[in-house]
Amino acid sequence: MFMNSNRLEEKRAIVTGGGSGIGRAIARRFLAEGAQVAVLDLDSEGAEETISGVAKGLAKSVDVTDQPAMVATVQSVVDAFGKLDIIVCNAGIAHIGDLGSTSPEDMDKLFAVNVKGVYNAMHAAIPHFKAHGGGVILNMGSVASSIGIPDRFAYSMTKGAVYSMTQSVACDYLEDNIRCNSIAPGRVHTPFVDAFIAKNYPDNQEEMFAKLAASQPIGRMGRPDEIASLAVYLCSDEASFITGTDYPIDGGFLSVKP
């Protein structure tokens, strides 16, 4: 649980992929911290559920791979909120497979969503940030951008690109008062994890869940609300001296050897 401190009071934010999992946790935490939040998701029902019962919430159905649609959607959010202060580029998909089992179609789909989707979101937001004196971009990366993980060939490629884009944007827009950082979660317990285990290990789900949890040195998977707490800090004025940095939040996965 967390104590609300209104750290995002009077901020206007967009969260892509906010209809479930980590994105939903971030959107709801931003709302609890006083921000106006637009949840963008291909799943319109999920987006609506995220903001259900919240006056400061806005739900939009959009495909992040469609740049004209993203530009128009971000403009509609700015029209509704008056300006834009924060965009969290969280929308993404996973993929299981090594080099040999990854098809050209797999590569194209992963690139379209996880790389081009982040590019499209940032591309749509940057002009509004520049017009209003600055803003904050937070991209959702992964520990897979920093270390080899079995059967994550295409996924790791996309998250490495997110990390590189984060650094590049941070460098290019310093004079525009635009900060850009990324978060690199380890394994987080979301509906995706449960669905993955149910699909691939239907006969020993509890055993596989325990095995995946134990792969984090701290002894468990992360929680979406823990990722959201870091997102609040990085998007708040408290982090005004931070840009171009990737933040692992992984239960010691990258650095601790149990």
Active site residues: 155
* CA 170/CA 241 separation, integer angstroms: 12
Among the listed residues 175, 171, 181, 208, the one whose alpha carbon sits nearest the alpha carbon of residue 88: 181
Place of tokens 């790791």: 156
Q: Which two tokens stand for residue 200?
A: 């691939």
DSSP 180: E
Ramachandran region, residue 177 (left: φ > 0; alpha: ψ -120 to 50; beta: rest):
left
Q: Which two tokens stand for residue 176?
A: 């525009």
Q: What are the residues facing 39 on neighbouring strands?
A: 15, 59
Strand ranges (E), the chain? 12-16, 36-41, 57-61, 86-89, 135-140, 178-185, 246-249
Q: Are strands 36-41 and 57-61 parallel, antiparallel or unpaired?
A: parallel
* CA 167/CA 122 separation, integer angstroms: 13
* CA 20/CA 140 separation, integer angstroms: 14
Q: How many CB atoms lie within 10 A of CB 70?
A: 24
Among the listed residues 209, 218, 207, 213, the one whose alpha carbon sits nearest the alpha carbon of residue 258: 218
Among the listed residues 232, 243, 239, the one whose alpha carbon sits nearest the alpha carbon of residue 6: 232
